[in-house]
Amino acid sequence: MNKKFDLNILKTPVKKVKLPVSGKDVEVRIPNVKELQEIRTNKKKADQYKSLNSFITGCSFEDLCLADSELLTMTIYSESTKDTWGVFVECPSCGKDIEVEYHINDIEISSQPDNVINYDLINLSFELQTPTMIQLCEVQEPSKDSELSDVDIIEFDNAIRLCKKLVTKINHNGIEYKLNEDELDEFIDNLPYYLTNKMFIFIQDQSHIMTDVFLKCSCGHEDTGTLRRLKEHLL
């Protein structure tokens, strides 16, 4: 009589990782093939990240910044790739796709942009809180009336709504002000466009994971390039 196979044998041991920005210690359970397929059935990136919460202990994707979320995502997928990823980049000389590889240990974290916005003409300044990965996904999600198809483009209306959530510590002539929700809406709506654009840049330039790779093409071109937002080809 054949002994019944115990599927618990296939359960992957838990991995531990320290997040680079928040410093949180997180335990990660590696998903199986079926679970990965279920994650990808979610059409919205924000929902895909939320579904990853079932594989972690010690934090929630709703609370994590971009860099922490990216590294944690790669850790969740790392067992299935043996910590090494291949991605295609375009040769700048001939346009051919070149496959380059990188290891999770090669990953670095980019610097965080300045979160203070200054309006020097009237001696006004205000600070922006660091947005979470979920908030950034929602900013890039085109609205129902939008014709945008590129998720790397910030949807204007969504970005304005996010800016209103991030603004804090408004200071004018050395006096700090706290505004209620309606006052904050009016404050943002009356800012000059160049200050609004600075807030958009702050959102776009959030600290993220990156790595340098060596490019070598059959056309003879050789160069070193930098890959950014590495998790994009995972979800």
Question: For 96-113, what is each residue's pLDDT tens digit?
Answer: 999 988 888 899 999 999
- Report d(CA 157, CA 144) in Å as an integer: 11
Sequence-distant (≥ 6) Cβ neighbours of residue 47 within 8 angstroms: none
Q: How many residues does the chain have?
A: 235
Q: Are 109 and 208 in contact (CB under 8 A)?
A: yes
How many CA atoms lie within 13 Å of 8's alpha carbon, on the beta-carbon side?
A: 2
- Greater confidence (105 vs 139) lies with 105
Question: For 36-86, what is each residue's pLDDT tens digit?
Answer: 788 878 777 788 888 899 999 999 999 999 999 999 988 888 877 778 888
Q: The sheet that has 209-216: what strands, in order across it?
A: 108-109, 209-216, 222-228
Does position 150 have pLDDT exceeding 80, yes or no?
no
pTM of the model: 0.80
Does position 229 have pLDDT exceeding 90, yes or no?
no
Q: What pLDDT, on a 0 to 100 scale, did the predictor assign at position 39?
A: 80
Extract the runs of DSSP E, i.e. beta strands, from the chain. Answer: 15-18, 25-28, 56-57, 84-90, 97-103, 108-109, 116-119, 124-128, 167-172, 175-177, 209-216, 222-228
For the ranges 40-44, 74-78, 139-143, 190-194, the lowest mean pLDDT is seen at 139-143
Does position 30 have pLDDT exceeding 90, yes or no?
no
- Report d(CA 66, CA 83) in Å as an integer: 20
Domain ranges of the chain: 10-108+208-233, 116-204
Q: What pLDDT, on a 0 to 100 scale, did the predictor assign at position 186?
A: 94
Confidence of residue 1 (pLDDT cuts 50, 70, 90): low
Strand partners, 172: 124, 175
